[in-house]
């Protein structure tokens, strides 16, 4: 399993602790894990749109997520997102 370190704001940790204290949270680590997964997925999809539009390279994409190129390929493949044949539309010759 791929592991990514993500900084979490203090107020999010406090909210998670309050949630657990009131009995709403269940397992705090599970809640935080889900929260981090959602944040990672949002960032991945945002960067993927930029990559798809040709605004960023695959290498930049990987660096922004703190992944190696190989790890990024695996993550994209896992989500069914193509990494090849992404190009700007071919313009007709004038």
Q: Would residue 66 count as lying in a domain?
A: yes
How many domains does the chain divide into?
Answer: 1
Q: Would residue 88 count as lying in a domain?
A: no
Q: What is the mean pLDDT of the chain?
A: 79
* Domain membership of residue 37 as a residue range: 10-78
Helix, strand and coil in the chain, % to nearest 5: 60, 0, 40
Q: Would residue 4 count as lying in a domain?
A: no
- Residues 6 or more apart whose CB falls under 8 angstroms from that of 35 comprise 8, 12, 16
Q: Would residue 86 count as lying in a domain?
A: no
Model pLDDT for residues 45-77, shown as the tens digit of each residue: 999 999 999 899 999 999 999 999 999 999 999
Q: Would residue 91 count as lying in a domain?
A: no
Q: Give 88's pLDDT tier (boundaries 50, 70, 90).
A: low
Q: Would residue 43 count as lying in a domain?
A: yes
Q: Would residue 51 count as lying in a domain?
A: yes
């Amino acid at each position: 399993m791929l592991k990514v370190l993500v900084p979490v704001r203090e107020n999010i940790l406090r909210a998670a602790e309050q949630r657990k204290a009131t009995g709403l949270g269940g397992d705090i680590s599970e809640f935080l894990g889900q929260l981090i997964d959602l944040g990672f997925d949002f960032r991945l999809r945002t960067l993927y749109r930029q990559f798809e539009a040709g605004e960023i390279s695959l290498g930049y994409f990987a660096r922004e997520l703190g992944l190696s190129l190989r790890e990024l390929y695996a993550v994209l493949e896992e989500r069914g997102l193509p990494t090849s044949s992404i190009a700007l539309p071919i313009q007709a010759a004038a």
